[in-house]
Amino acid sequence: MFSRRHFAFAWLLLMAIASPARGYALGQPRFVNHTASTGSFTVAASGRTATLYVDHEDFPGVVRAAQDLQADVERVTGLKPGFISNSDAVSGTVILIGTISKSRLIDRLIKEHKLNVETIKGKWESSIIQVIDKPIPGVDRALVIAGSDKRGTIFGIYDLSEQIGVSPWYWWADVPITHKDSLYVQAGRYVQGEPAVKYRGIFLNDEAPALTGWVNANYGGYNHKFYEKVFELLLRLRANYLWPAMWGSAFNEDDPENARLADEYGIVMGTSHHEPMLRAQQEWKRHGTGPWDYSANSEVLNKFWSEGIDHNKNFESTITLGMRGDGDMPMTEGANITLLETIVAYQRKIIADHSTPTLKTDPQVWALYKEVQQYYEKGMRVPDDVTLLWCDDNWGNIRRLPTVEERKRSGGAGIYYHFDYVGDPRNYKWINTNPIEKVWEQMNLALNYGADRIWIVNVGDLKPMEFPIEYFLTLARNPERWGKDQTLEFTRQWAAREFGEDHANEIAELMDTYTRYNGRRKPELLDVDTFSLINYREADRVENDWRALLAKAEGVQKQLPENEKDAYFELILHPIKASAIVNELYISAGRNRLYATQGRADANDFAIQARSLFKADAELTSEYNHLLAHGKWNHMMDQTHLGYTYWQEPPLNVMPAVVEVQPAAEARIGVIAEGAPDAIGVQYLSFDNFQRQTHFIDIFNHGLTPFHYSASTNSPWITLNETSGEVEKERRVEVSIDWAKINSGEQEGKIIVTQQNGPSAVVNVQATRSQTPSPESLNGFVESDGYVSIEAEHFTHVTSAGAVHWDRIPGYGATFSGMTIFPVTAPSVAASQATAALQYRMYFFDSGTLNLETTLGPTLNFVPGRGLRFAVWFDDQLPQVVDSLEHNSESDWAKAVSDGVRRVETKLNITQPGYHTLNFGMVDPGIVLEKFVVSAGSIKPSYLGPPESFHNFPMNTDAAQK
């Protein structure tokens, strides 16, 4: 179906006509052009460049970033700007870079009222870029980059770098830099204010075998040469925070330069949720004595922690408090709240005893990860100036957010989030499976509930999470610019920056689509039974979706210039091709097993196909590791991803098992109608004049000898796309209805399929033509095949309750989109109160008890003391309040995160056939509604559920305006 998502892409295509040329900072006004305009400042033209000036007394990180700008101008133009730090030598055309109160020239401009910094002075990480005429004697024009603090200046520098055409991913994803002869900054004043989230960063975790193998091969370990690349990337993304790799390394100890350079660059360092007091887990393994147990070994642990604080007392950090068990495990059974409070109190004493100006401003953080949150809920508290770091469930669903009272704490709150995870119900660390629409939905909750002090996301090996990393960090900096309706715009701007305007729309759609497909089921969770091979042509549709997407991706790749193909392979083509292969591999292995049970001779063909796809997966991995960018990224695709049997990854990729059959020597016909599991029993096909389905009959061979078949019907309204042919292994005959030849009501007919000189098989056909209602007169949805399936965005009417209203999150979820309540902080309501509600009008041919299957996003009850409830009712019935988390056992949660949705079943009644309106009302905010299926009985099993039912909306309904 042509969804609103497709209309959005069409809109972006129109917008592209007026879009700027390649090279601009995402979401920012474009201020760099390649032709001069009135009052513009010349960065480079006619073989000359402006000189860069940075005061030698400014922060070393600012000087270093300015040197990056010098290199960036040369990367773009081939011309290397001059670089000076002596203010007496400044003359001509100059880019003046400096931090307020650290740069003499910047302070002079402020004092002489030539530069107004009132909007950024004293602010966190803010900057101004402004063209100023005759700023000082001897300087005709200057481009001023002024920062409120160290990172404010650095981010201003990188704003200019990105605007002139240097992607933050120029090194990490090999994004090419397009040559330009001239660069001009438009006259004006460009202000970057404070970020919405103070500390924004990534966690390199679960980093073996891929990242660790690559780092060891290229740097000999996690030393400063490696981390310099990470620091630079983070700053170019306007991030400021890092939890370093930790499973086999120790950031501070492995290379003494690591911590010093992080501080110099401007990166705030933290340690993970289970590594307190700036000490790595590996440091304890190397030097610790006795048990990791405070009740039995407090003196040793206090000394160990004191050394960590002392080592980093002058480096900007966040300090993790508390304690988990060794190796990121729960503490011992005897651990209790009193002990943890004692631990935190002594840790804070250690920090106070080593007090420095840096330590006084370093945030202290308590990560409420897994069982630690339970301690908090049972009454454990830390001082108000400690930041509470709330966590997701490791699958992108935030477990808890601050209450109104908790938002008053001076330490504030943050979020530890995941794009990668090792643990139940299954590791996912191979490839990007993170749709940014889901990221927006959850992090928007975090912002609105006051968790805005720290955002840290587990990104695994860093590659191949490039795209969601940038989105997460950009959203954290400026969420107002990137609302729910701008996710596609973000993706398109990103595609245009990396690959130019010509293919930006296509590439954006490729990125959006593959992440949505991977988001509905992570590759590590796939198996031969995931997608139904029998019902709704589901496996066929999934396979065709991936094939079509891959064909489009390969088509774009052929049109790109050679220097863009490495980046395109890393960011687009490889994840699509890799995911397509894995999906098709499991579907092929599933067909092999199914066809073997059905006795089909071509079962063996799918065994061969599965083996071929398994080989293709290995070859694609080898291409990434050994051929891409001349082997630059060798080991980055070492992660195993095939053959999981429980949560932990297999040591080697294992092909799904296939079977072989021994076909009979002679020909023998088999006939299976669509939807039948086998050729045994009555075969039938059902049609109606709403869906106007096309079904199929598979005519297959049990033997090795080909045979001729013929097919006929006993009713002129049954149409076959072919009536005879040669069957070597299988032929598929499409069956449809000529509705002009059929009377109203239910009609029955037969299809007779005969093997030449052999047996026959009969397929019964039932066709229903309704006149009341007819497809043309229908007002809403209509029952077909015993169910009504509805995408959430296709409501027929909607009501609000004051400011509380339903709105759409475009692209959210497995199929179309999600509907959720805004504002997300709306108070819960009782079912008896007027509530914001969505209405869905539908027609039933029978009455009685109906089963409502509601498909929701896997959101958790992030507000303590309440569930995640909604109300449903037909027509004027009393609302029935349903808690989507009523059954929230460990197995329920595992199923929800594995499926990417939560399905909730409710019984409702209608007393007569005809039109009825299903109402879905808000009780608690936070629910994201994706889909309904209303059925009179059990629906056929499938992963994605039945396709949407036929519907017709007259032009005067709300639905017609959507």
Q: In the chain, pLDDT over 90 holds for what percent of residues?
A: 91
* pLDDT beyond 80 at 409: yes
Name residues whose C-beta falls within 8 Å of residue 831's C-beta, 6 or more positions apart in sequence.
Answer: 871, 878, 879, 880, 881, 921, 923
Output the CA torsion 713→715→718→723 (10° steps): 20
Beta bridge partners of 41: 185
DSSP string, 231-299: HHHHHHTT--EEEPP-SS--HHHH-THHHHHHHHHTPEE---TT-GGG--HHHHHHH--S-S-HHHHHH
DSSP string, 819-843: EEEESTTPPP--TTS---EEEEEEE
Residue 329 has a pLDDT of: 67
* pLDDT beyond 80 at 21: no
Question: How far is it, in rounded angstroms, from Cα 13 to Cα 36?
Answer: 28
Burial class (CB in 10 A: 0-12, 13-18, 19+), 852: buried
pTM attached to this predicted model: 0.96
**Range 86-91 contact pairs with CB under 8 angstroms and sequence separation of 24 or more:** 86/56, 87/53, 87/55, 90/51, 90/53, 90/136, 90/138, 90/139, 91/138, 91/139
User: Which tens digit of pLDDT belongs to each residue from 634-653?
Assistant: 999 999 999 999 999 999 99
Q: Please give the mean pLDDT across all residues of the chain.
A: 95
- Which two tokens mark 558? 């052929």
Q: How many CB atoms lie within 10 A of CB 631?
A: 11
Across the range 163-177, mean pLDDT stands at: 98
Point out the least confidently predicted range of 21-30, 401-410, 672-681, 687-696. 21-30
- Indicate the pLDDT class of residue 82, thresholds 50, 70 and 90: very high
Output the CA torsion 739→740→743→746 (10° steps): 0
The answer to whether 927 touches 818, Cβ cutoff 8 Å, is no
Across the range 608-625, mean pLDDT stands at: 98
Residue 747 has a pLDDT of: 96
Across the range 790-818, mean pLDDT stands at: 96
Question: How far is it, in rounded angstroms, from Cα 867 to Cα 813?
Answer: 21
Residue that is written with structure tokens 């055409």 in the block: 165
Cα 281–chain centre separation: 29
Main-chain dihedrals φ then ψ at residue 577, nearest 5 degrees: -65, -45
User: Which tens digit of pLDDT belongs to each residue from 723-761?
Assistant: 999 999 999 999 999 999 999 999 999 999 999 999 999
- Which two tokens mark 244? 């370093």
Residue 955 has a pLDDT of: 62
- Indicate the pLDDT class of residue 680, thresholds 50, 70 and 90: confident
The answer to whether 125 touches 157, Cβ cutoff 8 Å, is no
The answer to whether 143 touches 202, Cβ cutoff 8 Å, is no
Pairing of strands 413-418, 454-460: parallel
Across the range 788-794, mean pLDDT stands at: 98
* pLDDT beyond 70 at 591: yes
- Which two tokens mark 133? 């005429």
Burial class (CB in 10 A: 0-12, 13-18, 19+), 752: middle
Q: What is residue 741's DSSP assignment?
A: G
User: Which tens digit of pLDDT belongs to each residue from 872-898?
Assistant: 999 999 999 999 999 889 999 999 999
